Amino acid sequence: MDLTHRPRRLRQDGVRGLVSETGLESTDLIAPVFVDATTDERQPIESMPGHERVPLEDAVSRVEDVLETGVEAVMLFGIPESKDPEGTRAWAEDGVIQKATRQITAETDAYVVTDVCLCEYTDHGHCGTLEDGLDAHDEATTTVDNDATLESLERIAVSHAAAGADMVAPSGMMDGMVGAIRSALDREGYDHVPIMSYAAKYESAFYGPFRDAADGAPSFGDRRHYQMDPANRREAVREVALDVEQGADVLMVKPALPYLDIVADVRREFDHPVAAYNVSGEYAMLHAAAEKGWLELEGVALESLLSIKRAGADLILTYFAEDVADALE
């Protein structure tokens, strides 16, 4: 055979690594951590093997375990001691995230990102204040009052920054949330705190295990009136552009694996760092298949995260963070 081009030449040992286009490092990863104010014992999360809700007194040791693997950043989610229609515990000075953040930043070197949302804090489980006249038992279709919710999100972000959060990550998909949070942070003296916006967040069935973990499932209706329609691709670029205009520092796409086209689009259209959230359902399905002996877990986890980077993500939020960091060591 007279072949000029033999791509296999570069797949040999010794040269493979030199020509590889994408790398995965533990410093690309953010590990989600659940802190639960309702318990004083660690609670395993059944649909997310290896993950637990930890009580406040274990928050620091939980984060120390993450740091030991080489992962340097955590994303904190809170389960409050009580819920109400407005989600007021989300911005309480003695709230679960505020306390955890103060402890973790005082006692560890972790880079602390906080999820800024209301669904774990409202008794109806929606990501904001309901429109007038609705309550937790309504079967309404339009649900969350966008502009009223912005005020709550501002309070939450400022309370997290005051507790020492290094970065805030609004995930509620309210219009104008990034701009509102940016001006509130600046006004209160936190202009150094970056915003990682859940910029293109889809109304996804892959969040199921998380909603068990964080106890944030809506008690009625769904999130399709604020989260994006999985059918839409071009809309993602418009959504993300709005967050860029409003001052987002990092642009997140969520979920990750079923939305790699969106990750690639955002990478191509914007110069900002791009984050992707490898969500709870993406984690749960690989674990379930591995448990049956149908997939080899470490291999599929590494390949999944590499593919998210290849699509264009700079950083990845993933429940695999610690295991993958260990495997990379």
Q: Of 83, 201, 292, 309, which is the active-site residue? A: 201
Known binding-site residues for Mg(2+) equal 239
Q: Residue 211, interface with ligand PBG (CB under 6 A)?
A: yes
Least spacing, CB of residue 204 vs ligand PBG, in Å? 8
- 46 exposure class (CB count in 10 Å sphere: 0-12, 13-18, 19+): exposed
User: Structure tokens of 58?
Assistant: 């274990």
Taking the C-alpha atoms of residue 279 and residue 90, their distance in angstroms, rounded to an integer, is: 22
Q: Residue 153, interface with ligand PBG (CB under 6 A)?
A: no
Sign of CA dihedral 280, 124, 63, 273: positive
* H or E stretch covering 74: strand 73-79
Whichever of 44 and 189 has its CB closer to ligand PBG, that residue is: 44
Whichever of 101 and 171 has its CB closer to ligand PBG, that residue is: 171
Least spacing, CB of residue 86 vs ligand PBG, in Å? 16
83 is catalytic: no
State the virtual CA torsion across 150, 151, 155, 157 in degrees, nearest 10: 20
Taking CB under 6 A as the binding criterion, the range among 17-25, 66-74, 111-119, 237-245 that sits at the site for ligand PBG is: 111-119
Least spacing, CB of residue 13 vs ligand PBG, in Å? 37
**Start-end of H helices in the chain:** 16-19, 59-68, 96-107, 146-163, 177-187, 208-214, 234-245, 260-269, 280-291, 297-311, 321-328
Q: Residue 117, interface with ligand PBG (CB under 6 A)?
A: yes
Given candidates 114, 159, 280, 304, which one binds ligand PBG under the rule CB under 6 A?
A: 280
Taking the C-alpha atoms of residue 283 and residue 8, their distance in angstroms, rounded to an integer, is: 33
Beta-ladder partners of 76: 33, 114
Known binding-site residues for Zn(2+) equal 117, 119, 127
Q: Residue 210, interface with ligand PBG (CB under 6 A)?
A: yes
Q: Residue 134, interface with ligand PBG (CB under 6 A)?
A: no
Burial 266-277 (b: 16+ CB within 10 A, else e): bbeebebebbbb
Given candidates 100, 119, 156, 157, which one binds ligand PBG under the rule CB under 6 A?
A: 119
**Please, how many CA atoms are within 13 Å of residue 189, restricted to the half-sphere of its CB?**
4
201 is catalytic: yes
The Cα diameter of the chain in Å comes to 77
Whichever of 95 and 216 has its CB closer to ligand PBG, that residue is: 216
Least spacing, CB of residue 156 vs ligand PBG, in Å? 11
Q: Residue 279, interface with ligand PBG (CB under 6 A)?
A: yes
Sign of CA dihedral 143, 120, 246, 308: negative
Given candidates 103, 171, 197, 304, which one binds ligand PBG under the rule CB under 6 A?
A: 171
Which residues does the annotation mark as catalytic?
A: 201, 254
Q: Which residues bind ligand PBG (CB under 6 A)?
A: 115, 117, 119, 171, 207, 210-211, 216, 279-280
